[in-house]
Structure 1
Amino acid sequence: MATTRQVARQRRHRRRLVLGAAAALTAAGVLAYLVMALLPGHKVDAGPAAASPLVTTQPKAAGTAGTASPSATPSPSSSPSASGSASPKTTATPKAAKSPSKGAQKSSRGSTTPPSAGRIRPHTLYQGVATAYQAGAGDGACLFGPSPDMMIAAMNTTDYETSRACGAYVLVRAANGKSVTVRITNECPLPCAPGQIDLSQQAFAELADLKVGRLPITWSLVSPSSLGTMSIRYKTGSSAYWCGIQVVGHRNPVVRLEVSTGNGWRQLPRTSFNYFISADGNGCGKAIRVTDIYGEQLTVSGLAVLPNVLQSTRVQFARH
């Protein structure tokens, strides 16, 4: 029989054999792992790691223009929706050469920005009815003052859109083939319906006899060719602490007016009487940037806060 010492020696020997075999298997596994890792195209799971968010960089969209529907014709009781029509055509305008200075005034033409959608859009035909009113000297809700000619009209309240239609030139056509181009200087309140235009009696007479009363028409926005530069007017009561700013004589409808501040450009809210208001005076007397319905921006600086004085500029929106 084996002694206790011999049994203990045999156990230690078996333990060494087991440990040696385990070490050999481990080494073989590691070697195989390394060989597999070195094989081309083979991915090795490195175990759990911190997740990283997926970041996708998209290039800036080029300033290309959309194409409007050639003949979107809403009914008199409806209006074009922001999603129902294609964007009107916008054309990038290069910066104009500087004109000789006139006092401290400076004017410049900037690049275009996407136009904001409104009820009256370029390249869109509208249906409605024409009526007539006594326009007097041609002044109206837009507060432009007396008109140099009487080819003017009042836009129905819906399409007037808080004075956004002010200054727009509209080509009005009657079923008899006659047409007239008018400038919107006034608002026609209810019961004037969407699509309706209240023409001055002089403008209505270009289409039909005044006795007709109501005349079915179609109309669309136009951009006249013979037009001088636009002007800026500060409202009566304006100062460095409060001011109202109005654009006069613009070729295309104005959709936005901004003033320069110490922190960049500030957009001013528009009133129904066609002035953009800075209630706290911030930006009054500073540079003014005006954007038309096509997205073109014109910047004018060096104008003093002169209440109720029409100050001319040297810029005008491009024709479309």
Structure 2
Amino acid sequence: MTTRQVARQRRRRRRLVLGAAAALTVTGVLAYLLMAILPGHKADAGPSAATPFVTTQPKATGSEGTTSGSTTPSPSASASTSATGSATPKTTATPKTPKASPKRTQKSSRTSTTTPSDGRIRPNTSYKGVATAYEAGVGDGACLFGASPDMMIAAMNTTDYETSRACGAYVLVRASNGKSITVRITNECPLPCAPGQIDLSQQAFAKLADLKVGRLPITWSLVSPGSIGTMSIRYKTGSSAYWCGIQVIGHRNPVARLEVRTGSGWRSLPRTSFNYFVSADGSGCGKAIRVTDIYGEQLTVSGLAVLPNVVQATQVQFARH
């Protein structure tokens, strides 16, 4: 090969190398320009802002209010963001403050019924047993109501007496001979009185059969009598601001619960076998009293002073059933 031919081949190879390099450079520039003008592309000027992930929470219902459509995350502590991005302030229910009653000025109120209370003696229930008779004297007994205005009274067997829960209940007694009488429970008939047995005053038993019969098969059930006036409250002897016993008298339906008003709300007092509800530490003594019958009705009386062994009339009575 001549010197001229060699030089020509070198020039050809040089042009090929330069052309390839130029082509690669153009290709790189075009690719860069193409990426720059694509939709949605951002230049690497810095880190991009994070987009929060919003999820809709289930509807929640609480004691302080109802929040629906709340989302996470929330932009502030006082508002929650919905799935549409709108802010909804939280709703907080403000508890009502009970109005203070004037001292020694009685106020009474009737509230809506609550869940009926369970016990051995229940409404719309018939019980079987036997009737016996005892000398009732003036009609006082374990319930400590005092003398009875009439002698149509009875003593309930210990099981159904249920720690004085039966005290004041009106019971319709039906004898096997077809006769019947309504009596008020004022006393307890201890063992061997059996469940279902009612020990009637001699005056009440005589309305059903001769006293010589001794034991009379009966059925009996709870009743809610008509006109009996309003109920009364009595503080036990020895009651003060530091200890008190509270008794309900003249109630149409059996009493299931007694509560007193304290600084922290209503407090239920334990019931004794002698038919008083006792506050051993004086909490609530002289404050408002709320009484609930076995049907769940609540009656509230306020403004009663702590007057030991004084019957204080109220202006309320349980509804008839």
Q: Does 1:191 align with 2:192?
A: yes
Residue 39 of structure 2 aligns with which residue? 27
Residue 94 of structure 2 aligns with which residue? none
Task: Name the SS for the 2:267 alignment partner.
Answer: strand
Residue 148 of structure 2 aligns with which residue? 147
Residue 207 of structure 2 aligns with which residue? 206
CA offsets per residue over residues 210-257 of structure 1, 9 Å max, x none?
A: 333332222111122231222211111111100000011111111222
Task: Name the SS for the 1:135 alignment partner.
Answer: coil
Task: Name the SS for the 1:13 alignment partner.
Answer: helix
Percent of aligned pairs with the same amino acid: 74
Residue 164 of structure 1 aligns with which residue? 165
Change in Cα spacing, 1:311 to 1:28, as seen in structure 2 (3 Å) is: closer
Q: Which moved more, 1:276-285 or 1:287-296?
A: 287-296
Q: Which amino acid aligns with 1:10?
A: A
Q: Does 1:15 align with 2:28?
A: yes
- Distance (Å, rounded) in 2 between the aligned partners of 1:271 and 1:178: 34
Show structure 1 runs of 5+ residues with no match. 30-46, 60-102
Q: Which amino acid aligns with 1:232?
A: I
Residue 41 of structure 1 aligns with which residue? none
Residue 108 of structure 1 aligns with which residue? 108
Q: Which amino acid aligns with 1:124?
A: T
- Distance (Å, rounded) in 2 between the aligned partners of 1:160 and 1:49: 65
Change in Cα spacing, 1:245 to 1:49, as seen in structure 2 (3 Å) is: same
- Distance (Å, rounded) in 1 between the aligned partners of 2:194 and 2:29: 103
Q: Report which of the two structures shows the higher radius of gyration computed on alpha carbons.
A: 2
CA offsets per residue over residues 4-63 of structure 1, 9 Å max, x none?
A: 443222222233444556567x6399xxxxxxxxxxxxxxxxx9835453125599xxxx
The answer to whether the 8 A contact 1:239-1:284 is kept is: yes
- Distance (Å, rounded) in 1 between the aligned partners of 2:159 and 2:292: 22
CA offsets per residue over residues 65-117 of structure 1, 9 Å max, x none?
A: xxxxxxxxxxxxxxxxxxxxxxxxxxxxxxxxxxxxxx944242312221323
The answer to whether the 8 A contact 1:105-1:300 is kept is: no
Change in Cα spacing, 1:117 to 1:52, as seen in structure 2 (3 Å) is: farther
Residue 319 of structure 1 aligns with which residue? 320
Residue 94 of structure 1 aligns with which residue? none
- Distance (Å, rounded) in 1 between the aligned partners of 2:56 and 2:187: 60
Residue 289 of structure 1 aligns with which residue? 290
The answer to whether the 8 A contact 1:107-1:298 is kept is: no
Q: Which amino acid aligns with 1:180?
A: I
Residue 231 of structure 1 aligns with which residue? 232
TM-score if structure 1 supplies the norm length? 0.71
The alignment of Structure 1 onto Structure 2 pairs a total of residues equal to 261
Residue 271 of structure 2 aligns with which residue? 270
Residue 57 of structure 2 aligns with which residue? 53
Residue 302 of structure 1 aligns with which residue? 303
TM-score if structure 2 supplies the norm length? 0.71
- Distance (Å, rounded) in 2 between the aligned partners of 1:51 and 1:192: 68
Shift of 1:305: 1.4
- Distance (Å, rounded) in 2 between the aligned partners of 1:129 and 1:5: 126
Shift of 1:169: 0.4
Change in Cα spacing, 1:51 to 1:122, as seen in structure 2 (3 Å) is: same
The answer to whether the 8 A contact 2:286-2:304 is kept is: yes
Shift of 1:201: 2.4
- Distance (Å, rounded) in 2 between the aligned partners of 1:168 and 1:217: 17
Flag the structure with higher strand content.
2
Task: Name the SS for the 1:27 alignment partner.
Answer: coil
- Distance (Å, rounded) in 2 between the aligned partners of 1:184 and 1:163: 10
The answer to whether the 8 A contact 1:107-1:315 is kept is: no
What RMSD, in angstroms, separates the aligned Cα atoms of the two structures? 3.0
The answer to whether the 8 A contact 2:154-2:198 is kept is: yes
Residue 96 of structure 2 aligns with which residue? none
Show structure 2 runs of 5+ residues with no match. 1-12, 42-50, 64-102
Residue 121 of structure 1 aligns with which residue? 122
